[in-house]
Structure 1
């Protein structure tokens, strides 16, 4: 999505005077505003230029706002778009009907333009935040991870970043399927959250980069205890995600790129630790570059391990 100030807003209302009032109000605030007076025009604009927020009047020709709202909510292409219902009706049951149809908010005409702008901005911020969280684990994703590292660099605080990555996860996914793979991912998210909460600080941060890659930000003197605990708990539990036969063997059988059978050991976890306690780090890009080097080194070692960057420059 674009930044909030230049977000796209679609106003659907058959009252052309009201359309002009809302259009001018939102455009003055820097939003990109489009309008529609009927169902067909509205749907055409929604599907060809997906808006970031829809302001939808209840009383419309052909289909009313409630019906259009249900239609949008039942379509995977539009189910995520925030919808604010506009109506001159003030009865509680009308508001309930709108919310039950899937609307995110409700504004009664006539409304204060300052309130309208404030509500639009609120839903834009909320939508942006929701997109920033991983849907599988509920943990902050790349946008929030980057913002967190940037903020710590800006504050000049001493920190340690833990990059966690599973070894042999792809082979597990190939053999057991993505649903089982998702269970492993959720297990790692729980393990990381539990250990940071119990052994870290109140302001420590955890995030899900994607796939089997996770991140945690703490302070240097907490690193050893956290990493050792994660590795111990991971190694003592991960075998339960395999069949009894594979646990007994200690490996799974899959095929390589030339269709030859190969034996892949049970999953382990590698943790790369990057800190600015002994070296100067001036950007989140530098953190990522150092982590990539350390992760490669960690994965070259057998079993579950954690490695720390000990260089001072």
Structure 2
């Protein structure tokens, strides 16, 4: 696997044709996109839960890549199920176009039209995602509408499930002290921590959403919820100090000016369930 980094959206490219892969990657990198590449469907599926992407481009068919199967797997994976997919087609066969859409692809492009249409298709797919889909622009996670839809689906399925709600204690005061930019870094770290925890201890059918601010919700199996909450709290407590200045880190608190001009002291951010008066990770179970 090869990876190139820049400042724009992150794109996953899957094709067995190395020359074609290099050609597409060169065009995308030239536009400032981050491009991760795979040449094997098996390798991809083994690593599909590792990190989120903004867009996926996959070859329709080759000896080691079945684009239709990959697309179906993407739609069944909580981390990528809302990610737009563009299928690379060898020709203008209408049947293959139909198969691509029915497998879950959002769009397709013929290889002969790459030079003329690739960037247009990519930019259109990304624009549609941010314009129409319920995606948080900071964490790239589903938002409130998607979470409500997922909860309704779980309830209607009559299966057992558990819901975890995560909110940082006094996060607003952290923003008052350090500003929104550093606050955003904490939010992105938190999103990645919860995502990795779901990947490690849950399954592909789990769900994670970001309501905005410091509010997250995740859905998993009842037998997994306790270990997930413990893991999130432990890892967060172990790493959160790295976001503080040395003085505040040593004091284990921040001092913030209040509206009256006085100084208030607030503890280090935490996800904690040891105080009933504070919102930490709440475990909500639905058993039918």
Match for residue 70 of structure 1? none
Partner Cα separation in structure 1 for residue 214 and residue 262 of structure 2: 25
Q: Which of 226, 229, 234 is the aligned partner of 1:232?
A: 234
Per the TM alignment, residue 269 of structure 1 is displaced from its structure 2 partner at its CA by: 1.4
Q: C-alpha deviations, 1:156-192, integer Å up to 9, x for none?
A: 1111111100012111111111110010000000100
Partner Cα separation in structure 2 for residue 194 and residue 123 of structure 1: 26
**Compared with structure 1, are the counterparts of its residues 241 and 130 closer, same or farther at alpha carbon in structure 2 (3 Å cutoff)?**
farther
Partner Cα separation in structure 2 for residue 143 and residue 188 of structure 1: 21
Per the TM alignment, residue 131 of structure 1 is displaced from its structure 2 partner at its CA by: 3.2
Which sections of structure 2, spanning at least 5 residues, go unmatched?
A: 1-110
Match for residue 277 of structure 2? 300
Match for residue 153 of structure 1? 155
Per the TM alignment, residue 130 of structure 1 is displaced from its structure 2 partner at its CA by: 5.3
**Compared with structure 1, are the counterparts of its residues 248 and 127 closer, same or farther at alpha carbon in structure 2 (3 Å cutoff)?**
closer
**Compared with structure 1, are the counterparts of its residues 127 and 242 closer, same or farther at alpha carbon in structure 2 (3 Å cutoff)?**
closer
**Compared with structure 1, are the counterparts of its residues 129 and 216 closer, same or farther at alpha carbon in structure 2 (3 Å cutoff)?**
farther
Per the TM alignment, residue 228 of structure 1 is displaced from its structure 2 partner at its CA by: 0.6
Per the TM alignment, residue 96 of structure 1 is displaced from its structure 2 partner at its CA by: 4.6
Structure 1 residue runs of 4+, over 6 Å off? 92-95, 122-125
Partner Cα separation in structure 2 for residue 129 and residue 203 of structure 1: 25
Q: Which of 206, 221, 224 is the aligned partner of 1:222?
A: 224
| RMSD of equivalent CA atoms | 3.4
Query: Per the alignment, in what secondary structure is the counterpart of residue 268 of structure 1?
Result: coil
Q: Name which structure has the greater RCO, CA cutoff 8 Å, separation 6+.
A: 2
* TM-score, L = length of structure 2: 0.54
Per the TM alignment, residue 128 of structure 1 is displaced from its structure 2 partner at its CA by: 7.2
Which sections of structure 1, spanning at least 5 residues, go unmatched?
A: 1-91, 106-121, 272-296
Partner Cα separation in structure 2 for residue 247 and residue 179 of structure 1: 18
1:205 matched to 2:182? The reply is: no
* TM-score, L = length of structure 1: 0.50
Query: Per the alignment, in what secondary structure is the counterpart of residue 271 of structure 2?
Result: strand
**Compared with structure 1, are the counterparts of its residues 158 and 93 closer, same or farther at alpha carbon in structure 2 (3 Å cutoff)?**
closer
**Compared with structure 1, are the counterparts of its residues 97 and 245 closer, same or farther at alpha carbon in structure 2 (3 Å cutoff)?**
same
**Compared with structure 1, are the counterparts of its residues 259 and 219 closer, same or farther at alpha carbon in structure 2 (3 Å cutoff)?**
same
Query: Per the alignment, in what secondary structure is the counterpart of residue 167 of structure 1?
Result: coil
Partner Cα separation in structure 1 for residue 176 and residue 135 of structure 2: 26
1:138 matched to 2:140? The reply is: yes
Q: C-alpha deviations, 1:64-113, integer Å up to 9, x for none?
A: xxxxxxxxxxxxxxxxxxxxxxxxxxxx999855665xx449xxxxxxxx
Partner Cα separation in structure 2 for residue 298 and residue 133 of structure 1: 32
Match for residue 168 of structure 1? 170
1:255 matched to 2:257? The reply is: yes
Partner Cα separation in structure 2 for residue 124 and residue 311 of structure 1: 35
**Compared with structure 1, are the counterparts of its residues 202 and 127 closer, same or farther at alpha carbon in structure 2 (3 Å cutoff)?**
closer
Partner Cα separation in structure 2 for residue 239 and residue 127 of structure 1: 34
Partner Cα separation in structure 1 for residue 285 and residue 148 of structure 2: 23
